[in-house]
């Protein structure tokens, strides 16, 4: 993660909240662009990722598996997400980014442990817009961060069950966001 991991985490939280703010009441139970998940389940998953970021920053115990939507389903998923984001906006500026934290690679500095859950928020922000039939472009620094992260993951690990699907073809001309999302198995052609 970049030297200013706290700022990247805050920026991706803001992207996610902006995407969730676009969900209309009738959209919550519609299918998302991720097979088998509704928009509500997608937001619940991102709420779990946000809770993981909070746990990492606070030094709480964390779980190593991706967050399961069922663990974060409630009557007000947007409200729960906003509560976590507000808490993180308070915690991130004072976070010790060199503090040791657990990760799938063993104990690493907080700045590195944050990488996957922060990228998760960015990528799923795009998924939310896509699920609503809208297009979205991630900021250049966020795309660069996510691309560097996924490029560092071996292909077999990246495409494992529960990971990312096979790379898709991005139509030309493609934006950096479209190329990233196609590489991660998302359909990036015409809106759903």
Helix (H) / strand (E) element for 129: namely: helix 115-131
Q: What's the pLDDT tens digit per position in 111-130? A: 999 999 999 999 999 999 99
Give the whole-angstrom CA distance, residue 75 versus residue 150: 33
Q: How far is CA 6 from the centre of its chain?
A: 15
pTM metric for this prediction: 0.90
> How many CB atoms neighbour CB 77 within 10 A?
23
Whether 56 contacts 22, CB under 8 Å: no
Q: Is the peptide bond before 188 cis (omega within 30 degrees of 0)?
A: no
Q: Is 139 helix (H, G, I), strand (E, B) or coil?
A: coil
pLDDT at 2: 45
DSSP 8-state secondary structure symbol assigned to residue 168: -
DSSP 8-state secondary structure symbol assigned to residue 163: S
Across all residues in the chain, what is the average pLDDT?
Answer: 89
pLDDT at 3: 45
């Amino acid at each position: 993660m970049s030297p200013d991991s706290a700022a990247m985490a805050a920026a991706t939280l803001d992207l996610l909240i902006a995407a969730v703010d676009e969900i209309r009441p009738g959209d919550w139970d519609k299918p998302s662009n991720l097979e088998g998940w509704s928009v509500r389940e997608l937001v619940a998953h991102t709420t779990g990722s946000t809770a993981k970021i909070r746990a990492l920053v606070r030094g709480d115990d964390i779980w190593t598996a991706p967050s399961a939507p069922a663990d974060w389903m409630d009557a007000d998923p947007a409200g729960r997400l906003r509560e976590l984001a507000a808490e993180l906006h308070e915690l991130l500026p004072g976070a010790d980014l060199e503090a040791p934290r657990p990760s799938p690679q063993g104990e690493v500095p907080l700045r590195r442990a944050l990488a996957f859950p922060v990228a998760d928020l960015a990528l799923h922000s795009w998924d939310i817009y896509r699920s609503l039939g809208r297009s979205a472009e991630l900021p250049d620094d966020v795309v660069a961060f996510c691309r560097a992260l996924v490029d560092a993951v071996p292909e077999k690990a990246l495409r494992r069950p529960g990971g990312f699907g096979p790379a898709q073809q991005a139509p030309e001309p493609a934006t950096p966001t479209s190329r990233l999302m196609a590489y991660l198995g998302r359909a990036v052609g015409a809106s759903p």
